[in-house]
Structure 1
Amino acid sequence: MSAATKRIVVFGGNGFLGSRICKSAVARNWDVTSVSRSGTPSWPTVTSTPHPPAWSTSVSWERADIFKPAQWIPLLSNADYVVHSLGILLEADYKGLVSGRENPLTALSKVFGANSAHQTPNPLDRKPGDRQEVVGGKQQLTYEMMNRDSAILLAKESEAAGVKGFGFISAAAGAPILPGRYITTKREAEEVIAREFPQMRGVFFRPPFMWDSGRAMTVPLAAGAAAASTLNKATGGIFGGFLGAAAIKPLKADLVADAVVEGLADERVKGPVEVEELERLGTKGWRGNMA
């Protein structure tokens, strides 16, 4: 690895977007580490093939729990960039719901409950380098825990490790089927990271609905979102407040991934990155990767 090679650590790097961020960084010849609870991706869930793609051999697939810092703090050493690509859409155990392990009424009550209990200690109260577990045992994950507190925890340790740029995968807006806390916890994370860690360049990527032909179910959903976006524009945006992200033009997941890597590489990019800027950065990054 040459002295000029950048090093990026992607938390949630085995997911739908996270794996594509790793792929884009590999295309730039960066040193890439993915951190997730399961390590290597389940390829059929993130791509159109069950076989690992060629680029995946250039990624170090590490296993760690975001709420157990002792497992991942050493991985931040000498990192130029860290990306938080973790989060949940639904607080219910949707896998358990689908498989029948969880009662449907119980699951739905978790999704649309007024306010789930906040089980995570304030990440800002932790001392830099403290490796004590943040939470223990099997607990129901909440928006506050995953969308907000885990991001603040990672940002705090990243700044302490001397990381130059911190990328947070936020969201363009909420959606009618999701509780309002989904998007409010994302925005709270952005605000706290920007305020508390000014020495580290924070970039808050706000993608809309993302699609990829390798995940077949996203294609018709993207088509519906595109139609809703066109209708919303034609009517002067009157449906935007109700439809949320469903009224915003969807983007291909690979384009968003290229935008994340390009945005981190460009020191002029800072703060919230909206959909239009994501398109610009993604196109620029794609062209750079093809050069």
Structure 2
Amino acid sequence: MSSAAPKRVAVFGGTGFVGSAVCERLVKKGYAVTGVSRRGVNPKPGDENLDQVNWVKGDATDANTVKSVVKDADAVVHAVGLLFDVNSGLANLNTIVSGSGSLPDDDSTYDRITRQTMFNIVDAIEGKLSLPSFGKKEKFPLCFVSAAEAGWPDVTGGPFIEEKLAPEWLKGYLGAKRTVEERMTSSTKIRAAIYRPSLIWDWTKFDVLPVIPVFNIANAVGVPFVDKTVRVETLADAIVQGIVDDEVEGVQRYMQMEKLAAKA
């Protein structure tokens, strides 16, 4: 456990399905939380926890916007999500599958929304920690919501599934996630906690509820390229624990997330 736990946390994508759950839990634990999104408004007005978040309207693809937020943060969470980008041909489905029901802009590609936003965050953190005033400090906690399928190259059958069966949009989605993971882990200044959930759900996510048993049964019988689904509460608790505990680093699959959430 860190001897100097972060006190100020910035959550990019704070109004989203995962981001808002993280913000809520951070507030409960006494953190000063800044939630950043294109809308910059509380997604649940009247919620006693989310009402305490400093909601900021900002575009994380803009490096200066990111710098202005990161400079005052002790830890950062990247929960900016986009399942179908504008090149997928399925962008309109985001209103159904997105936890916040948002539609992508005309320039919302996986490269911009996933890679560029996180590269801006990493650059801002490294630049901040390079200033003489910071001296030698512990690694900066940075949590990233990736995807279970980003680990396909490392599991039996995964490479075949991706190469032969995965649609092009999914390959682009996973490529952006992996590029971010590599950038995070290559930094000597960052403690990278990489969360790889498969389907993320709660009881309000009617779009995925029917397929949850399919994923869980496949995982239970040992299909190596299918991970057990993850409740949003579990993921959010695991992310908070990843900020608190300086031993949390690297890839966190569903089994690690469940263990971390139990400690939160």
Name the TM-score, length of structure 2 as normaliser: 0.77
Match of 2:132 in 1: none
Report the aligned-residue RMSD: 2.5
Equivalences, count: 226
Mapped to 1, the partners of 2:92 and 2:199 lie a distance apart of 24
Mapped to 2, the partners of 1:229 and 1:223 lie a distance apart of 10
Match of 2:78 in 1: 84
Instruction: State the 1:140 CA deviation.
Output: 2.7
Aligned partner of 1:220: which letter? P
Say yes or no: does 1:75 pair with 2:69. yes
Say yes or no: does 1:249 pair with 2:216. no
Compared with structure 1, are the counterparts of its residues 221 and 39 closer, same or farther at alpha carbon in structure 2 (3 Å cutoff)?
farther
Instruction: State the 1:38 CA deviation.
Output: 0.6
Mapped to 1, the partners of 2:11 and 2:43 lie a distance apart of 16
Q: Which has the larger radius of gyration?
A: 1
Match of 2:243 in 1: 264
Name the TM-score, length of structure 1 as normaliser: 0.70
Match of 2:154 in 1: none
Match of 1:17 in 2: 18
Instruction: State the 1:96 CA deviation.
Output: 4.5
Match of 2:121 in 1: 154
Say yes or no: does 1:62 pair with 2:56. yes
Residue deviations 1:102-156 (CA, integer Å, cap 9, x gap): xxxxxxxxxxxxxxxxxxxxxxxxxxxxxxxxxxxx6432222222222111111
Compared with structure 1, are the counterparts of its residues 98 and 72 closer, same or farther at alpha carbon in structure 2 (3 Å cutoff)?
closer
The answer on whether the counterparts of 1:168 and 1:205 sit within 8 Å (CA) in structure 2 is: yes
Aligned partner of 2:125: which letter? S
Residue deviations 1:26-46 (CA, integer Å, cap 9, x gap): 111111110000112544xxx
Match of 1:204 among 194, 198, 203: 194
Structure 2 gaps, min length 5: 96-104, 130-138, 151-161
Mapped to 1, the partners of 2:128 and 2:232 lie a distance apart of 29
Secondary structure of 1:179 counterpart = helix
Instruction: State the 1:95 CA deviation.
Output: 5.8
Say yes or no: does 1:279 pair with 2:258. yes
The answer on whether the counterparts of 1:202 and 1:271 sit within 8 Å (CA) in structure 2 is: yes
Match of 2:185 among 191, 194, 211: 194
Aligned partner of 1:198: which letter? T
Report matched runs for 1:68-147 at 5 Å: 68-92=62-86, 94=90, 96=92, 139-147=106-114
Secondary structure of 1:180 counterpart = helix
Mapped to 2, the partners of 1:28 and 1:141 lie a distance apart of 34
Mapped to 1, the partners of 2:119 and 2:6 lie a distance apart of 27
Instruction: State the 1:97 CA deviation.
Output: 6.7
Identity of aligned residues (%): 28
Residue deviations 1:149-175 (CA, integer Å, cap 9, x gap): 221111110222238211111111168
Secondary structure of 2:188 counterpart = coil
Mapped to 1, the partners of 2:213 and 2:241 lie a distance apart of 26
Match of 1:217 in 2: 207
Compared with structure 1, are the counterparts of its residues 258 and 97 closer, same or farther at alpha carbon in structure 2 (3 Å cutoff)?
closer
Secondary structure of 1:38 counterpart = coil
Match of 1:171 in 2: 147
Compared with structure 1, are the counterparts of its residues 145 and 282 closer, same or farther at alpha carbon in structure 2 (3 Å cutoff)?
same
Compared with structure 1, are the counterparts of its residues 146 and 223 closer, same or farther at alpha carbon in structure 2 (3 Å cutoff)?
same
Instruction: State the 1:65 CA deviation.
Output: 0.6
Aligned partner of 1:81: which letter? A
The answer on whether the counterparts of 1:15 and 1:41 sit within 8 Å (CA) in structure 2 is: no
Mapped to 2, the partners of 1:148 and 1:188 lie a distance apart of 7
Secondary structure of 1:214 counterpart = coil
Aligned partner of 2:51: which letter? T
Secondary structure of 2:72 counterpart = coil
Mapped to 2, the partners of 1:226 and 1:11 lie a distance apart of 29
Instruction: State the 1:260 CA deviation.
Output: 0.4
Match of 1:185 in 2: 176
Instruction: State the 1:268 CA deviation.
Output: 0.9
Mapped to 2, the partners of 1:160 and 1:202 lie a distance apart of 16
Instruction: State the 1:78 CA deviation.
Output: 3.1
